[in-house]
Amino acid sequence: MANDASTVFDLVILGGGSGGYAAALRASQLGLDVALIEKDKVGGTCLHYGCIPTKALLHAGEIADQARESAEFGVRATFEGIDMAAVHKYKDGVISGLYKGLQGLIASRKITYVEGEGRLSSPTSVDVNGQRYEGRHILLATGSTPKSLPGLEIDGNRIINSNHALTLDRVPESVIILGGGVIGCEFASAWRSFGTDVTIVEGLPHLVPAEDENSSKLLERAFRKRGIKFSLGSFFEKAEYTENGVKVTLANGKEYEAELLLVAIGRGPVSQGLGYEEAGVAMDRGYVLVDEYCRTNVPTISAVGDLIPTLQLAHVGFAEGILVAERLAGLDVVPIDYDGVPRVTYSHPEVASVGLTEAKAKEVYGADKVVTLKYNLGGNGRSKILKTQGEIKLVQVRDGAVVGVHMVGDRMGEQVGEAQLIYNWEALPAEVAQLIHAHPTQNEALGEAHLALAGKPLHSHD
């Protein structure tokens, strides 16, 4: 194959999702000559099939709930139903605007953008569209795809994945969601707001099992109030078609029937058949293995995003892509503290966190060295106005820094920015308590929680 360029690129990136395009933008900013290869659309899963479209659906659901509940606020309104064609028009408009902006940004940085399915052909080259792109360094950023289970065929008809769910042309009457993690809970929340009868099946003991147990229990309580049903602690055994839908059988013998089954058990890396093994890249269960600087065992190859076994979050991909670009440009870089990454489940209510769970903190520091505090949003004026319930839970090393912030309640995702500063700057409760938080805001609840942990509570009990 002939090289498409007369010179070798400084960086050839395979995959234009969050990690890949972030690396491309930062590398070009630092003066590197970059080629970015993407088989679908730049922006990847997050922009087109994940973060952005799901949050648009969730916001549409929020509007539906507000219409139903308007009388509680003295507003006369009627809810007449969901127009899915109009919902998709709104969702796709959001995506389209961001997509065009991203395309323009890449063009303005003079990045060589190649649309086509690429394959790693050597430790320093990628083949795509019959051309070979040579690079002094290669970045693998091919992302992830929805997973399934052995014997469970996702047909896009009655058994669907998250990609299918985002383009569904109707509001289903009933849905079983296999998986109670972030993806499952977000779809459960949106569909319930649209009027669907929802049952979540989660094999582990709690919903959002990666979160602090207190957050999981608060979400479960809120979901019960909303009429979202869930089965915990028993794993999936089989699914079969019925006359009008799908029947799911669990290992404990329980059976559930619904119109649709959404398989939301997570996402797996896209790495098969792309030449990684042939180039000598170390892998495990499909993931590309890297060190703390996102370097593989092959000196000329790095990898970022969902392809590596780190948190599958778009903002983690951004950070990893930037880290690689800056490292290649010769800047001093600091490894990412993955515990310090903010995490949000955008359900109603939202679950937001950063840092260690109470259980993890006790494992790291010892049970006798860990202090926790819970601040109920019932004491927060803005939360009362919004009619949301929940808590902020702080995890502290005794006489030391706050090492975990866990929040449940509507709009808590908007508070996680300050929470990550508290964790990452190793703030003491007394230091945060000195900061003045605007009143009345939900952000004020973070300040109140730290006031209480510092021994001087205001709108909360000792």
Kindly list the catalytic residues.
439
Contact indicator for 274, 149 with CB cutoff of 8 Å: no
Residue found under tokens 């109707």: 170
**Residues 184-187: contacts with CB under 8 Å, at least 24 apart:** 184/262, 184/264, 185/219, 185/223, 185/345, 185/347, 185/351, 186/54, 186/58, 186/345, 186/346, 186/347, 187/54, 187/162, 187/262, 187/264
Contact indicator for 358, 213 with CB cutoff of 8 Å: yes
Q: Where on the phi/psi map is residue 180: left (φ > 0), alpha (ψ -120 to 50), or beta? A: alpha
Helices marked H in 109-136? none
Rounded Cα distance between 332 and 159, Å, is 48
Please give the structure tokens belonging to residue 392: 């902020």
Q: Are strands 402-409 and 350-355 parallel, antiparallel or unpaired?
A: antiparallel
What is the phi/psi pair of residue 241, to 5°? -70, 145
Residues in the chain: 462
Rounded Cα distance between 7 and 425, Å, is 44
Residue in 443, 417, 441, 414 with CA at minimum distance from that of residue 55: 414
Distances (CA, A) of 197 to 185, 256, 260: 14, 12, 11
* Sign of the alpha-carbon torsion through 317, 312, 285, 213: positive
Buried-exposed string 21-53: b where 16+ CB fall within 10 A, e elsewhere: bbbbbbbbeeebbbbbbbeebbbbbbbbbbbbb
Residue spans of beta strands (DSSP E) within 319-365? 343-345, 350-355
